[in-house]
Chain A
Amino acid sequence: MFKDISFGQYYPADSVIHRLDPRIKMLLTVLFIVGIFFVDSYFGFMVTAALLLVVILLAKLPMMSVLKSVRAIIFIVIFAAVINLFFIKSGEVLWSWKSLQITDNGVHTTIKITLRLILLICGASLLPLTTTPVAIADGTESLLKPLKYIKVPVHDIAMIMSIALRFIPTLFEETNKIIAAQKARGASFDTGGLIARAKAMLPVLIPLFVNSFRRADELAFAMDARCYNATENRTKMKVMKIDWADVVAFFVMAAYFAGVLVERYAFTGIMDGLIFGGLV
């Protein structure tokens, strides 16, 4: 049932991208996500794609690992594309059948939205692919540090995050096992109405919950046995520090972001016109 759990899975490699400070990577990811919503020209998408490609190559990631995360949202992409293709009525009509019609504006918007979603997911997946869950948790803890002063238990939150990430593959595997076992007793999960299906999940969910409590119990013992909470002055093996590579990465991203804004508002459509001529 859950075959593909590769989305968000760390891909180990020794690369300059992997070594970037997790806090910087999180900031860059946010900047990238915001930035791509301002991109509205084919030129902009080309530059974005080129940037991503460089990062992927630098990170020594196989293309498949990045594209896999796109596969996870392929339905959303198709849905968005179809809606835009048929519901944008402005512009020159290219094709029509009964009340359905496709216009040139519709085609352009559809292509752009599809590109935007795909690039967005590829870009966002680079963070978990190149950053260990512990580093993400540490980064979060560090970024949230100011909240400590208003008594938010920042470290505990980070610990909970990191444990949750750690147990995702384990729980997926367990869910699959329980589903197989109940199927072997004749359970079916894909027949009947919504309520029947929800009810059919109970033989899976109940054991999953019971087992999770057992796991939590054992994990708590294991953490206690390894002196969790022994001291306020916890140390860290991996200390985050801003390196020159982080500075470079930040400036590259800042330049990209500024470029996107300039291209969109100062040179609207000009770059596309230069490159694609009358096509666009």
Chain B
Amino acid sequence: MLAIEVKNLSYTYSRKTPYEKRALDNVCFAVEEGEFVGLIGCTGSGKSTLIQHLNGLVKLQEGEVTVKGLKASDKNSLRQLRFTVGMVFQYPEYQLFEDTVAKDIAFGPKNMKLDKAEIDRRVRRAMEVVGLPYDEFASRSPFELSGGEKRRAAIAGVIAMEPSVLVLDEPVAGLDPAGRKEILDLIVRLKEQVSPTVVMVSHYMDDIAALATRIIALRDGKVVADGSPKDVFGDREKAREAGIDLPFAARIADRLAERGIALDKRIITPVELADALAAYRDGKGAETDGASDAKDGADDGSATEGGSGV
């Protein structure tokens, strides 16, 4: 089933003024339920404008956006669209405002006009999922939490609406390594337990390589690459043209290729790289011809694709 459908979407800022800027240019894609989309592109490529279209925060100019059958052009279902698409903005902790964590998380469900028992259930569940035990955190002030806890509380505020699509804009920005790992693990958990479809905007290609099942790359408002991470990163020429940085493992694979160790271009994670190198070493004993060496390496590499995942 389709979760998101974006058709011929174009958007221009400050129309009909000298400051006119085309932020999106005929963007088309469809996302199936259950996909994990990594949305990439440099600053100013149109990513933020695109994600703000998904829940109707930006008014449609041209084209159509449909999420779970709700059209962004339909004013009557706008509120429902907002609750269907959970949106976690950059540095979401800067939007906390209530005097207790539980009240802040209840803000969304309250706006949904749910009854008290249901709000309570959702707040408890959201806190449970993000790892802030209700008994310990519910009555604390969100402003007294640590940085990582604040961010999780803010995410809980979105999750409590139980959206079927979760959109995250740079969810790990500014966190230390432990905080990053916590949030990335949390996103995987949220996808399993709350929102089956996830769109994550990130500058970190290693995170995208590890988590996403699909990459959509924007540049100057246009979709310049769309496919599985292996396909997108694997097509080096296209990736370079689209201005896409490579994940660490792919970068190393390229440098090794220059030194005569040809590995599969579709290696994108350190585990895959290590497996491919081990296979290359083991295969080398049997083969002596250089050319088929390279071919072997490539075959071994693609074999790991299905197996190791991350």
Complex CA gap A86/B64 in Å reads 46
A186 touches which of B52, B94, B96, B108 (Cβ 8 Å)? B108
Complex CA gap A206/B98 in Å reads 8
CB neighbours (8 Å) of A210 from chain B are 97, 143
Give the contact stretch, choosing among B79-87, B122-130, B254-262, B296-304: B79-87
CB neighbours (8 Å) of B79 from chain A are 186, 188
A65 closest partner in B (C-beta):
B18
CB neighbours (8 Å) of A178 from chain B are 94-95
Q: Is B195 an interface residue (CB 8 A)?
A: no
Q: Is A270 an interface residue (CB 8 A)?
A: no
Complex CA gap A10/B255 in Å reads 49
Complex CA gap A178/B86 in Å reads 15
CB neighbours (8 Å) of B57 from chain A are 180, 183-184
Q: Which of A160-204 contact B (CB under 8 A)?
A: 174, 177-178, 180-188, 202-203
Sorting the interface of chain A by its residue count into under 10, 10 to 19, 20 to 34 or 35 or more gives: 20 to 34
Q: Is A64 an interface residue (CB 8 A)?
A: yes
* Contacting pair B82 A203 (CB below 8 A): no
* Contacting pair A186 B112 (CB below 8 A): yes
Q: Is B67 an interface residue (CB 8 A)?
A: no
Q: Is B164 an interface residue (CB 8 A)?
A: no
* Contacting pair A207 B95 (CB below 8 A): yes
Kindly provide the distance from the CB of A191 to the nearest chain B CB, expressed in whole angstroms: 11
* Contacting pair B107 A187 (CB below 8 A): yes
Complex CA gap A183/B108 in Å reads 9
Kindly provide the distance from the CB of B274 to the nearest chain A CB, expressed in whole angstroms: 41
* Contacting pair A184 B97 (CB below 8 A): no
Complex CA gap A62/B19 in Å reads 12
CB neighbours (8 Å) of A182 from chain B are 95, 107
* Contacting pair B108 A180 (CB below 8 A): no
Q: Which of A191-248 contact B (CB under 8 A)?
A: 202-203, 206-207, 210-211
Complex CA gap A62/B17 in Å reads 11
Q: Is B89 an interface residue (CB 8 A)?
A: yes
Kindly provide the distance from the CB of B95 to the nearest chain A CB, expressed in whole angstroms: 4
CB neighbours (8 Å) of B85 from chain A are 184
Complex CA gap A184/B112 in Å reads 12
Given A64-B17, A184-B89, A207 and B107 contact (CB-CB distance below 8 Å): no
CB neighbours (8 Å) of A62 from chain B are 18
CB neighbours (8 Å) of B97 from chain A are 202-203, 206-207, 210
Kindly provide the distance from the CB of A242 to the nearest chain B CB, expressed in whole angstroms: 35
- Chain B 31-59 interface mask (CB, 8 Å, partner A; 1/0): 00000000000000000000010010100
B163 closest partner in A (C-beta):
A184
**Sample (29) of A-B pairs whose CB atoms are under 8 Å apart:** A62-B18, A64-B17, A178-B94, A178-B95, A180-B52, A181-B87, A181-B95, A182-B95, A182-B107, A184-B82, A184-B86, A184-B87, A184-B89, A184-B158, A185-B108, A185-B111, A186-B82, A186-B107, A186-B108, A186-B161, A187-B107, A187-B111, A202-B97, A203-B95, A203-B107, A206-B97, A207-B94, A207-B95, A211-B94
Please provide the 6 A-B residue pairs with the shortest distance between their CB atoms, ordered closest to farther.
Answer: A186-B111, A206-B97, A184-B87, A185-B108, A181-B95, A203-B97
Q: A186-B79, A203-B97 are in contact. List 18 more A-B contacts (CB 8 A).
A: A180-B57, A180-B89, A181-B87, A181-B89, A181-B92, A182-B95, A183-B57, A184-B158, A185-B108, A185-B111, A186-B83, A186-B107, A186-B108, A186-B112, A188-B111, A207-B94, A207-B95, A207-B96
